Amino acid sequence: MDMYDKLNELYEKRRRSKLGGGEQRIVQQHTKGKLTARERISYLLDAETFVELYPFITQRPIKNGELIVNHAYGDGVVTGYGKIDGEPVYIYAQDFTVMGGTLGEMHGKKIAAVLDLAAQNNSPFLGLIDSGGARIQEGVAALDGYGQIFRRNVRYSGVIPQISVILGPSAGGAVYSPAITDFVIMVQDTSQMFITGPKIIEQVTGEKITAERLGGAFIHNTKSGNAHFIAKTEKEALDIVRRLIPYMPSAQGRSSVLPFHYDSAKENDLMKIVPVESKTSYDVKQVIQSIVDQSSFLEVHAQFAKNIVVGFVRIGGKKVGIVANQPRYLAGSLDLDASDKAARFIRFCDAFQIPVVTLVDVTGFFPGVNQEHQGIIRHGAKLLYAYAEATVAKITIILRKAYGGAYVALSSKSIGADIVFAWPNAEIAVMGAEGAVSILYTKELTESKDPISLMKEKISTYKKRFATPYEAAELGLVDDVIDPRETRGKIIAALEMLKYKHVVSPVKKHGNIPL
């Protein structure tokens, strides 16, 4: 066989590899409204940047020694590296046209190998998931493949960003890899994640439910919180990845400061958005849009725990993580899910040196028997722990209310905020004036001939004495009381001051966050 014969053999093998499970199965994939693994990679990455790794890997011979017939090159997953907006990323895309994208021994080894390369090169790792789960015929070897991936997901957590895009089924043990990664993106009517499928649930419990209602994109974005983004189409899901990447750390050491646009007229909008009356609702996203660079706000977990808003922004061209109470839902109070949502986001920002700006307007932790019995103490402690542990620059703006333990937990000076500013109408107190007065003056109100007038008088006195930012400022718990129109400028100046912040933490293996 001469060189030309060898090249012809190579080209034939590559052609077979790129066909995956064959033309008929590619048509079936398209009929479902789904792209193939290679089409997804081609759409996501910059043109002509993808380099495939391990394209000829196949299954081992089966146990009885007979050779596998019609085995597919690549073993049901396409792996390699490329670029997004010029930034290097490592990627795998499961190929549903090959044995339903099921994970076997070699399939798992390919993913693990690329994960190792991503960590060694300090680059984001992307998983495009479309799989029927573990390959049953490979037995425990397939399960070991999952274990190899899980161990690396954990080992490299906080070392490199890891993003999972669910583009089909992900069932059983397969769901734990995306659950460990930093961000999960799902597609309506196409993506599902569940430990136990509808048929098994019906057999065991008698409950009947569809795969979509059990573990579809809407469920995981609104109820379980297992997913961070929801998309209408596969391409929209991949577009979200492209929006996320610029907020991830740069492997090439590029400056994190980008050119920006900002309409200074927005500063005046802040005077109108937040009502002085503490019980009147408003949309905190309007506040965010008024202080950040134009078109830079990328909200994370938008459909889950809506009483708190988290996401990435740029302020003065610098990337920042933002956490804000949302008065439109539960009066901006902190419940179980809001505490979890904010805590995980803060820990991501801290792991990758992204400053955190917190906008506070909180009535407290949400009261109720259900909240207490489900562990609001433990969940609230996660939030407190995340802020206290974080060593990145932490800037806090108290917009209006900041009551009780929620004031402390939301990046107060007490737990390590570097800079705390308050607007003039901020109320910083143990509790709201009405509740405080009813407790402090119970006897007088009971004995009074005009309790309503007395109540109003005491509330007014309480607010003037305790529920102002100046009381906290006098104690050094607020650095300055500022004009709302100064907010953006103050944040930019604080970010500049804190850009070289360095904290030496106590030597320890790790803390024990109350999970």
Q: Provide the annotated active-site residues.
A: 172-173, 405-406
Residue 183 one-letter amino acid: F
- Rounded to the nearest 5 percent, the helix, strand and coil shares of the chain are 45, 20, 40
**Tokens representing residue 344 in the block:** 């995980």
What is the spatial distance between Cα 238 and Cα 486, in angstroms, rounded to a whole number? 37
Residue owning tokens 């009502």: 275
Q: Is 89 helix (H, G, I), strand (E, B) or coil?
A: strand
Residue 161's alpha-carbon distances to 305, 457, 507, in angstroms, are: 23, 55, 25
- Torsion over CA of 84, 87, 91 and 97, rounded to 10 degrees? 20
Q: Which residues of 90-104 are buried (b: 16+ CB within 10 A; e: fewer)?
A: bbbbbbbbbbbbbbb
- Torsion over CA of 191, 350, 385 and 377, rounded to 10 degrees? -20
The pair phi, psi for residue 458, each rounded to 5°, is -70, -35
> Are 397 and 357 contacting, i.e. CB atoms less than 8 angstroms apart?
yes
DSSP 186: E
Residues in the chain: 515
What is the spatial distance between Cα 148 and Cα 421, in angstroms, rounded to a whole number? 47
- Torsion over CA of 244, 250, 254 and 257, rounded to 10 degrees? 40
Q: Which helix (H) or strand (E) holds 403?
A: strand 394-403
Q: How many CB atoms lie within 10 A of CB 42?
A: 15
Angle at 340 between CA 337 and CA 341, to 5 degrees: 85
